[in-house]
Chain A
Amino acid sequence: MNELVHPYHRFIRPTVTHTTFCPGCGDGTVAQSILRAIDGLGMDMDDFVFVSGIGCAAWIPSPLFNADVLHTTHGRPIAFAFGIKMGLPDKKVMVVSGDGDLVAIGGNHLIQNARRNIEMVVLCVNNGIYGMTGGQAAPTTPMGVKTTTTPYGAFENFFEDISGLVIAAGASFVARWTTAHPRQLTASIKKAIQKKGFAFIEVISQCPVQFGRKMGMGNAIQMLEDYKKRSISIKEAKKLSPEELKDRMVVGEFVDLDKPEMVEEVTRMIRRASGEAQEAVDTGRG
């Protein structure tokens, strides 16, 4: 009798026997969407270097993915990824981390590297909470929500539109989906991998244990149904007023444009500089 093996099992590190995600966590959907995208493009794990920070989503590539993986300090994965990409320009570099990691403590690295438009994929799993540390408020936690650090309700304005921030900073590809859109998410990840530029994908993802419960949103299935109900495509959203869009989740591919990419610019600069150096030697100016 043949053993049944999951088609993406080959992408999983052989020493991994289980995940650390809570029951109902959206990270499994995100992990599978990434692997489906890689498989769909006919690529291999050795084509990639994965980088992650601190938090639940960071544990998607580390240790699940059977590839070169750098699991870094809190908030800094994009900065580490910068060095990796510059050192290995032919590899695809993908950062997978959460909203707390990429937008709170690591916010400036996100903004600055979107500005640089350096080729890499940044996948931000946005669950609106600090899950791993026990449900503390994040910059993405809606106002009024009671968390372990906001027992009387969150009193800060929050990031409703991380993607908008990254668009403003200058990324050449930006998309947002929810875990209720795995097929669309997979399609966008494929595009992001192929993009010559900074490609950012925000995935609104359920944390039933630390967020759903406290919000009164119920379990994972109820949260996904809520995502389906509240999400609206960017095309449809354009027809509605801001009031009508209140509490809606606008999803889709917001930006997909071509602009100068940093690794290419650096390569050009080096070619120019080393050529000039050669010329200086030739003419005795060195």
Chain B
Amino acid sequence: MGEKRVRTGRYFMMGNVACAEGALAAGCEFAAGYPITPATEIANHLAEKLPQVGGAFFQMEDEISSIAAVIGASWAGKKAMTVTSGPGISLMLENIGFAIGVETPCVIVNVQRGAPTTGMPTIGIQGDMVQAKHGSHGDYEIIALCPSSPQEMFDHTVIAFNYAEKYRTPVFLLSDAFVGHMREEVVIPEAEKIETVCRNIPEPGTDPLKMKGFLDEDVAPMPIFGKGFKAHVTSSCHDEYGKRNLIDISALDKFVRRLSNKILKHKEEITLVERDYEDAEIVLVSYGGVSRAAAAAASQARKRGIPVGTLRLITVWPFPGEEIEKMARRAKQVIVLENNLGQVYPYIKAEAAHFAEVSFLPPRLVGEIQDPEDILRKIEEVSK
């Protein structure tokens, strides 16, 4: 099965196709979605390839049912994903909260596009960054990865599935139209070199009355359907056994805190960043496609003798505040770069401003990744 799922080799590949290949390599068995630019290539590729390995892609009636079907399939024991763009995420948000509430592993790919509303479908922006963290109602933590290349569309999709399975949670892949439609070299390793994780499930024959299938900060084994666990899975406030409790505030407190702590407790092992700020006085902080411009600008600045470094957030959520602080303690100036009007900037500033001057450089036009020349000008401005 592994060989059929993993197309080992060196390719010139579109980011969206690499994402679909990553899903196959990670063991995805079920995908559901609704057509939307600029994510369609992922769905198209999965629709072709999944049946060849015994799975299937289903085109649902809307994005609400897409994420619902994905959650259902996950409870049926399948590795499952959905692919969409911002308008689709907006429709999915209630059920994403559901997935968090009943601890359902699944992967949600958002190939972000010009927004708000219908916006500009083929233009990449990073407009849905905070939506992923706060879009559904209530307090919760989420995991979100930000690929910056077709290669990472493959790699991060595998990581997203592994995190989803390990922490029993939805995991976002926050790509955008630029990275999704970018064509570059993608190297797919041999199947045995790709680490894949599968969720823990209770021992067969576990007494359903004694089974704690929820609200464990160290991730409860998932009482998936069809195994005789008689799982009671409700998005109502519930206890460790899945039993509904709608009257006791301390039950609600446990419900909210434990779900969040399940992610926060493992933040260090979840967090992925790329640090290149040794001896730098000015650090460019970015993520996704923008980090390519940041790296180019930093390299040119260093050639001009300005000590510029970079910090790239690969996981934007849970927010890697400790990494920001660690970086800011060594820097004098922090420049935040995003392809939006400053969505993650306030979070970065809150952690960094105590130690360094923090500023934000928006793209000249929203939907246009910062020109390295513009970044250089900003660097020169703050270095004076």
Chain A residues with a Cβ under 8 A of chain B:
13-15, 45-46, 49, 51, 62-63, 66-73, 76, 79-88, 90-91, 108-109, 112, 266, 269-270, 272-274, 276-277, 281
Contact = CB atoms under 8 A, between A and B. Distances in A.
Contact of B71 (A15, A80, A88): A80
B226 A68 contact: yes
A205 to B, nearest CB: 22
B71 A71 contact: no
A163 B279 CA distance: 72
A88 B77 contact: yes
Given A63-B243, A71-B235, A88-B225, A83 B52 contact: no
B230 A45 contact: yes
A87 B78 contact: yes
Given A62-B232, A63-B232, A84 B225 contact: yes
A269 B56 CA distance: 9
A87 B244 CA distance: 26
A274 B229 CA distance: 32
Contacts of A270: 51, 54-56
Nearest to B48: A273
B33 to A, nearest CB: 12
Given A49-B225, A63-B244, A70-B75, A273 B52 contact: yes
Contacts of B52: 273-274, 276-277
Given A51-B72, A88-B76, 12 more contacts: A68-B75, A71-B233, A71-B244, A73-B98, A79-B64, A81-B72, A83-B32, A83-B68, A83-B74, A87-B74, A108-B62, A269-B56
Interface in B114-153: none
A192 B73 CA distance: 23
A69 B60 contact: no
B72 A84 contact: yes
A13 B51 contact: no
A7 B52 CA distance: 47
Q: Main SS of chain B's interface residues?
A: mixed
A176 B304 CA distance: 80
B61 A70 contact: no
A87 B235 contact: no
Interface string B220-257: 00000110111111111000010110000000000000
Contacts of A49: 76, 225-226
B89 to A, nearest CB: 16
Nearest to B246: A20
Contacts of A73: 68, 94-95, 98, 235
Contacts of A13: 230, 232
A108 B54 contact: no
Contacts of B98: 72-73
A109 B56 CA distance: 19
A273 to B, nearest CB: 3
A248 B280 CA distance: 82
B75 A112 contact: no
A38 to B, nearest CB: 14
Contact of A84 (B29, B32, B76): B76
Given A70-B75, A109-B61, A46 B228 contact: yes
Interface of B: 4, 29-30, 32, 51-56, 58, 60-62, 64-65, 68-78, 80, 94-95, 98, 102, 208-209, 225-226, 228-236, 241, 243-244
Contacts of B102: 70
B58 A76 contact: no
Nearest to A86: B73
A205 B320 CA distance: 53
A91 B230 contact: no
Q: Which 3 A-B pairs have the closest CB atoms?
A: A87-B76, A83-B72, A273-B51
Contacts of B228: 46
A80 B226 contact: no
Contact of A69 (B54, B70, B233): B233
Contacts of B58: 82, 86
A104 to B, nearest CB: 14
B95 A83 contact: no
Query: Most A CB atoms within 10 A — which of B55, B65, B69, B72?
Result: B72
A83 B76 contact: yes
23 contacts: A62-B232, A66-B230, A68-B225, A68-B226, A68-B229, A70-B75, A70-B225, A81-B72, A82-B69, A83-B30, A83-B73, A83-B80, A86-B58, A87-B30, A87-B73, A108-B62, A109-B65, A112-B65, A270-B54, A273-B51, A274-B51, A277-B52, A277-B53
Contacts of A281: 4
Given A84-B225, A86-B69, A274 B60 contact: no
B226 A91 contact: yes
A62 B72 CA distance: 16
B209 A14 contact: yes
Contacts of B232: 13, 62-63, 69, 71
Contacts of A112: 60-61, 65
A192 B63 CA distance: 29
Given A73-B94, A76-B64, A91-B225, A86 B54 contact: no
B53 A84 contact: no
Contacts of A69: 231-234
A166 to B, nearest CB: 15
Nearest to B70: A83
Contacts of B233: 68-71
A79 B68 contact: yes
Nearest to A62: B234
A59 B197 CA distance: 35
A76 B62 contact: no
Contacts of B235: 71-73
Nearest to B241: A15
B231 A68 contact: yes
